[in-house]
A and B are shown apart, each in its own frame.
Chain A
Amino acid sequence: MIEFHLDGGSGLSPYQQLVRQVRHALRLGLLHEGDQLPKVKDVVAALAINPNTVLKAYRELEHDGLVAARPGVGTFVTATLGGGGSLAALGPLRQDLRRWLGKARRAGLDEESIEALFLSTFRSAAREDIA
């Protein structure tokens, strides 16, 4: 069972954060098919947020085909993101990333510059994807 948390400074609304955390958990293999998501009542009691927020997040995940609600029982994971295949792809990707980081450091970039470079490239690439 995963545990949710809310980050006040993230700029994302609570329900968006919940959706993200479920997707993350699926990607990292913390959630498998058939696992139950925390009950609305429990999430709400732990985080002191509006139940509709949790319901909205679960509904969006259901709309994306990742979970399914079983009335009276709970909400369960029906699919994974990436699947076993992507887990295997993680290894080589990680190695590539290490090599790139080594190059960046040798070029003289400090940690903040590396982070800024990565984030700005990542964001502009994402925007291009949407546009």
Chain B
Amino acid sequence: MTALRAQSLGKKYKRRWALTGCTLDVPAGHVTGLVGPNGAGKSTLLNLAAGMLRPTTGTIEVCGGVPGSGPAQLAKVGFVAQNTPVYAGLTVDEHLRLGAHLNPSWDDALARRRVAGLGLDTAQQAGKLSGGQRAQLALTLGIAKRPELLLLDEPVAALDPLARRDFLADLMETVAEHGLSVVLSSHLVSDLERVCDHLIVLVESQVRITGEVEGLLATHHRLSGSRRDLDTLPADQHVVSASHTDRQTTVLVRTEAPILDPGWTVGRLTLEDLVLAYMSNPTAARPALEVLR
């Protein structure tokens, strides 16, 4: 079951390509992290998936349908945009009524329970809520319509660490309870490490690497040893990044096979190391590498 499938997806704004050659296959039932530097195209990809934007080239299919193509499709996808917009003049209660009026699949009991559990005052105007509370309200609106896929665009970027932890914990609890798929973008890798089991790295409008987190971590290694020419490496070891001193070479490789050369000291990478390596090495780009597990 695929939550999101993109084929050579591209989006151009006036002169600039915000996203190019994006080919992805995001499985359902997982929490997928979309990570990359600012301006890499994360928001564009999420907006395309939600149906807020139309592709310039290529195709995108979300939960088996074309994004934005009518009420049935809109009901399947929940979207919380950047800066978690809410109607400042409407109260929390009125936001829930908005959800109930505009969504046939609205689960009012769930929404009310969440709001009560979060300690939100239903008579409070949304404009007067704190950043964390607004994010939680926006998330409630996204979740209570019972979508198949939830898209979150940097939902915790503006939150303090405690609010951020609470938001993510609450999101994970919801995923555990309802089994929904989530695609969540962030430029903070540490958040994603705990929460995501699937990853997409987007740099300069292109997908650098994508796959299951455990698989990615198992197949990427940091090799350090005496200075050598990288052409001597076996063909099945793909170099992601490399640095040399006069005596030493350190190289980050992606390979399915075990490292047999005894001259290398093999180190394990954290997710952050892996992402940073792909983010800082545009030449390592090969679009849409799938690590099959």
- Do A and B come together as binding partners? yes
A residues with a Cβ closer than 8 A to B are: 6, 11, 13-14, 40-41, 44-54
Cβ contact within 8 Å between A48 and B196: no
Q: Mark B18-35, 1 if CB is under 8 A from A, else 0.
A: 000000000000110000
Starting from the known contacts A14-B194, A44-B175, A46-B169, 20 additional A-B residue pairs (CB-CB under 8 Å) come to A6-B194, A11-B268, A13-B214, A41-B176, A44-B169, A44-B176, A45-B169, A45-B170, A45-B172, A48-B194, A49-B172, A49-B194, A50-B172, A50-B194, A50-B197, A51-B175, A52-B31, A52-B197, A53-B197, A54-B176
**Could you show 13 A-B contacts with beta carbons less than 8 Å apart?**
A14-B194, A40-B176, A41-B173, A41-B176, A44-B172, A44-B175, A45-B170, A46-B169, A47-B169, A48-B168, A49-B194, A50-B175, A51-B172
Complex Cα distance A77/B30, Å?
27
Given contacts A11-B268, A13-B214, A13-B217, is CB(A50)–CB(B173) below 8 Å? no
Complex Cα distance A45/B176, Å?
9
Shortest B291–chain A CB gap in Å is 16
**156-178 of chain B: CB within 8 A of chain A:** 165, 168-170, 172-173, 175-177
Complex Cα distance A13/B197, Å?
12
CB-CB under 8 A from A53, the residues of chain B are 197
Q: Mark B207-230, 1 if CB is under 8 A from A, else 0.
A: 000000010010000000000000
| Total residue contacts A-B, CB cutoff 8 A | 46
Cβ contact within 8 Å between A50 and B217: no
Query: Is B242 an interface residue, CB under 8 A from the partner?
Result: no
Given contacts A13-B214, A13-B217, A41-B177, is CB(A48)–CB(B172) below 8 Å? yes
Complex Cα distance A50/B177, Å?
12
Given contacts A41-B176, A44-B176, is CB(A49)–CB(B195) below 8 Å? yes
Cβ contact within 8 Å between A47 and B268: no
Nearest A-chain residue to B166, judged by Cβ: A48
Shortest B80–chain A CB gap in Å is 17
Shortest B200–chain A CB gap in Å is 15
Nearest B-chain residue to A45, judged by Cβ: B173
Cβ contact within 8 Å between B31 and A50: yes
Q: Mark B172-190, 1 if CB is under 8 A from A, else 0.
A: 1101110000000000000
Shortest A105–chain B CB gap in Å is 33
Nearest A-chain residue to B267, judged by Cβ: A11
Q: Mark B137-170, 1 if CB is under 8 A from A, else 0.
A: 0000000000000000000000000000100111
Nearest B-chain residue to A51, judged by Cβ: B176
Q: Mark B248-278, 1 if CB is under 8 A from A, else 0.
A: 0000000000000000000010000000000
Nearest A-chain residue to B191, judged by Cβ: A48
Shortest B122–chain A CB gap in Å is 23
Complex Cα distance A50/B169, Å?
9
Cβ contact within 8 Å between A50 and B196: yes
Cβ contact within 8 Å between A52 and B30: yes
CB-CB under 8 A from B268, the residues of chain A are 11
Shortest A73–chain B CB gap in Å is 16
Shortest A36–chain B CB gap in Å is 16
Nearest B-chain residue to A49, judged by Cβ: B194
Shortest A116–chain B CB gap in Å is 18
